[in-house]
Each structure stands twice: as structure tokens, then as C-alpha cells.
């Protein structure tokens, strides 16, 4: 006689309820409107306002600060659904999520009390800034500096690049060199919580010295702005060193790399979301379009494409959730997060390309959603560390774990 076992479920009741709610939101509010905002490259304000009402800016922020207090696994499920709608929408929350993670893990009580309640409601949004015009992968090579002045404040100078939410954010977690002579260089880096006026290109008064040049024109990932940030004599009070001066000076690189580990799970979830959407579009179109007297879905070559896409989506989803669950359980997940990011972002690109091929000439038309996905998917191969960098992380960690 068979032993009775519980039905297989990957999600708890709360996770199922919340992902269903976000999926419905994506179906009703994001997907029908994405084309408009993508075409205009304008900020999707009404969608973002609704996300505030749904509490999506405070998913992982503890309840005592007004958030939902949910774990990374549930957050990854939400991000997957948002990205299935449009990856730019998940882009609006992702650097915000990384900022709240930095505060929750390393912030002083005063920093948490000051920022987290306003971040939980989405009243203010956060950006995260490592990259510079000459530096992306090699973070230890940053050039922007912060120097302590006689009045106790820090003076920030230098140019940052590719800052998602660079204009609309009210707070930027930015990595600066505070000891240019440090050897190795990462020991001389500090993370500053720099405040600014949202949507203002030239900041004045207490935020003077921070200007935001016009947004970078991009192939895809439109709607959410990517900007440079120019710090030129910006004054940052000592209490805005992440974790406080005593604990935080010289710790910025380690803090930011820790945040990137959760950031990679985050990007992996976005890869799963866009791949899932490509699969759905391919399943629909291949049953509608006929060639040689039958729906193209009845040609074995197309079925094989669908089979490979569905298998890859499922594998990427499972690996992403595994990495998230390990982090939630307090285990080291750098290897798994790297693997999840690598597999899911490549899966996103591959599924989008296969869906594009299945659409034939129509895939090249702006009338079809796949055209937008085709421009959006490559970003995931680059952001939070390229595929080459993920392979370097995975290889290094493997050798550390299996040293003979």
C-alpha cells in the first residue's frame, strides 16, 4: 500500500496568496500598459503608485518599520511576477530592496529609524551605486573619493555611472574610496547614504554638490531611468556613513558585496520572470499561427523549442528559489546565488530568442510584446555582474569548498 504523503507544493499559503495577487496586478495593470511607457520611455508613475498601495516597496522590511517582514524567497517570487509583466517595473523596486537590505543588515538604529519607515511605504525610493564610467566588473578599481573635512563631514567627489533610479530616488547608497593608499584597495572603501531631492537634476542647499545629467538612452529597460551621478563637493554628515563611522569606515566593499549576493537572487528572479513570459507568448502564438496546413505547434521542431524553454524556466526557477531559501536559512549562498543568476539570466535571453524565432517576422514588429522582451532581456546578462563574472565567482567558490 502506498504511504500517504503531503501534496507537492513549492509555496506556503502566504506565498501562494501574494504571488497570485502580484500576478493579477501584472496581468491587469503592468502588461496592458508596458508598451505605452516603453515606447515613450517615461516613468510608469500610476503603476508605481499602485505598487505603493500594495505594499511592494516594503516586502522585506520588518513589520516594526511598517513593512511586510517577508523573506528573500517570497520576495524572489514577487519579483518573478513583476518581471513577467515588465522588467522595468521590477527595476523600480530592486535597488530599493538592496538599499533596505543594507540598512537592515548594517545600519545604525538611527539610520533604520530614519529611513526604513519611509522606504517601506515607498514614500522615498533608494538607489545603489558602485559603477563608474571606467569601472563596472572590477569594483576595487573605483576612483570616486570621500575625504573627511575639518567640520567632521565627508566631502564626496567623483562620477558614478548607470545608476538605476538615479533621478527619482531620495537616497543613494554609494561606494567611495576613503583611503586611496589601502592595500588591498577594498579595505579603503566606505558606503555613504547620500540624500538628495527626488527628480531634481541640480541639488541645492544641504544636498548641493550632487547633479544628475540627463538619463542614458538605452536599447531596452525603458521607463526606469539609468543615470550618471556627479558628486562635486557634496557634503555627507558623519552619521550617514553606513553603520556609523566607527563600524562603517573601510567596510563599504564588504557591505556592498554582501548586498550583491541578495541582488543576484533578485536578478535571477527577473530572468525567470521574463523567460516565463516568453514561454507563455510562444505557447499562445504557436497554437494560433498555421503553416503547411497546421498550427506551427504541431511541427516537432517547434515543440522541441517549447519543451526546452519550459524545462529551462523550471530549472532556473528551482535554482533561484534554492539560493533564496539558503540565504533565508542563514547559510552561505554565494555559490548558489551566482549559479542562479548565471542560469536564470541566460535562460531569460535564450527563451526570449526562441519565442522571437517562433513569431517569425511578427517578432520583429513593435505590435508584438516579444519585440520589447527582446530588447529587455540582455540587461540581465550584465547587471549585478556579467555572466563571465558569475562564472569567476562560481569557479572560485567551488575551488574554496573543494580544496584538496
Binding site for ligand FAD (CB under 6 A): 95, 128-131, 136-137, 162-164, 218, 221, 226, 379, 382-383, 385-386, 388-389
Cell of 30: 503592468
Do 87 and 32 touch, CB atoms closer than 8 A? no
Using CB atoms, what's the residue nearest to ligand FAD?
Answer: 136
Closest CB to ligand FAD among 351 and 381?
381
Cell of 133: 564610467
- Using alpha carbons, select from 177, 107, 168 the residue that is nearest to residue 147: 177
Number of CB atoms found within 10 A of residue 123's CB: 12
Identify the active-site residue in 350, 354, 371, 384. 384
Closest CB to ligand FAD among 68 and 175?
175
Do 72 and 324 touch, CB atoms closer than 8 A? yes
Measured from the CB of residue 6, what is the shortest distance to ligand FAD in angstroms? Answer: 41
Is there a catalytic annotation at residue 384?
yes
Measured from the CB of residue 219, what is the shortest distance to ligand FAD in angstroms? Answer: 9
Query: Chain centroid to CA 165: how far?
Result: 11
Phi, psi of 31 (to 5 degrees): -60, -45
Closest CB to ligand FAD among 248 and 385?
385
Query: Chain centroid to CA 20: how far?
Result: 21
Cell of 162: 548607470
What is the rounded end-to-end Cα distance, in angstroms, of the chain?
47
Measured from the CB of residue 190, what is the shortest distance to ligand FAD in angstroms? Answer: 15
Number of CB atoms found within 10 A of residue 65's CB: 20
Closest CB to ligand FAD among 66 and 91?
91
36 three-class SS: helix
Do 319 and 340 touch, CB atoms closer than 8 A? yes
Strand duo 171-177 + 126-129: pairing: parallel
Closest CB to ligand FAD among 130 and 278?
130
Query: Any idea which residue has 527595476 for its cell?
Result: 91
Cell of 333: 549562498
Closest CB to ligand FAD among 29 and 251?
251
- Known catalytic residues? 384
Amino acid at each position: 500500500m502506498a504511504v500517504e504523503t503531503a501534496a507537492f507544493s513549492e509555496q506556503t499559503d502566504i506565498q501562494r496568496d501574494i504571488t497570485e495577487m502580484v500576478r493579477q496586478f501584472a496581468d491587469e495593470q503592468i502588461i496592458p500598459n508596458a508598451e505605452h511607457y516603453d515606447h515613450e520611455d517615461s516613468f510608469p508613475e500610476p503603476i508605481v503608485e499602485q505598487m505603493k498601495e500594495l505594499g511592494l516597496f516594503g516586502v522585506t522590511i520588518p513589520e516594526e518599520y511598517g513593512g511586510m517582514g517577508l523573506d528573500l524567497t517570497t520576495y524572489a517570487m514577487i519579483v518573478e511576477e513583476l518581471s513577467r509583466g515588465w522588467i522595468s517595473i521590477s527595476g523600480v523596486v530592486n535597488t530599493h530592496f538592496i538599499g533596505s537590505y543594507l540598512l537592515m543588515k548594517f545600519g545604525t538604529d538611527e539610520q533604520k529609524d530614519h529611513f526604513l519607515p519611509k522606504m517601506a511605504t515607498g514614500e522615498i525610493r533608494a538607489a545603489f551605486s558602485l559603477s563608474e564610467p571606467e569601472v563596472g566588473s572590477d569594483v576595487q578599481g573605483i576612483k570616486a573619493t570621500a575625504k573627511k573635512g575639518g567640520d567632521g563631514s565627508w566631502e564626496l567627489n567623483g562620477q558614478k555611472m548607470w545608476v538605476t533610479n538615479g533621478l527619482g530616488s531620495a537616497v543613494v547608497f554609494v561606494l567611495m574610496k576613503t583611503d586611496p593608499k589601502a592595500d588591498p584597495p577594498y579595505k579603503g572603501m566606505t558606503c555613504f547614504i547620500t540624500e538628495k531631492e527626488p527628480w531634481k537634476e541640480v541639488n541645492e542647499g544641504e544636498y548641493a554638490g550632487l547633479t544628475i545629467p540627463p538619463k542614458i538612452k538605452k536599447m531596452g529597460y525603458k521607463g526606469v531611468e539609468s543615470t550618471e551621478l556627479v558628486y562635486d563637493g557634496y557634503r555627507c554628515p558623519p552619521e550617514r556613513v553606513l553603520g556609523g563611522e566607527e563600524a562603517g569606515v573601510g567596510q563599504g566593499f564588504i557591505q556592498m558585496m554582501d548586498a550583491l549576493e541578495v541582488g543576484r537572487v533578485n536578478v535571477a528572479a527577473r530572468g525567470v520572470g521574463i523567460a516565463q513570459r516568453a514561454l507563455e507568448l510562444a505557447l499562445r502564438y504557436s497554437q494560433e499561427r498555421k503553416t503547411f496546413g497546421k498550427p506551427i505547434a504541431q511541427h516537432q521542431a517547434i515543440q522541441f523549442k517549447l519543451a526546452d524553454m519550459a524545462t529551462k524556466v523550471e530549472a532556473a526557477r528551482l535554482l533561484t528559489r534554492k539560493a533564496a531559501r539558503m540565504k533565508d536559512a542563514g547559510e552561505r549562498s554565494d555559490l548558489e546565488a551566482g549559479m542562479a543568476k548565471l542560469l536564470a539570466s541566460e535562460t531569460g535571453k535564450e527563451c526570449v530568442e526562441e519565442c522571437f524565432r517562433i513569431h517569425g517576422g511578427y517578432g520583429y514588429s513593435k505590435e508584438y510584446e516579444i519585440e520589447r522582451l527582446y530588447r529587455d532581456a540582455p540587461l540581465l546578462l550584465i547587471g549585478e555582474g556579467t555572466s563571465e563574472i558569475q562564472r569567476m565567482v562560481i569557479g572560485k567558490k567551488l575551488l574554496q569548498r573543494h580544496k584538496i
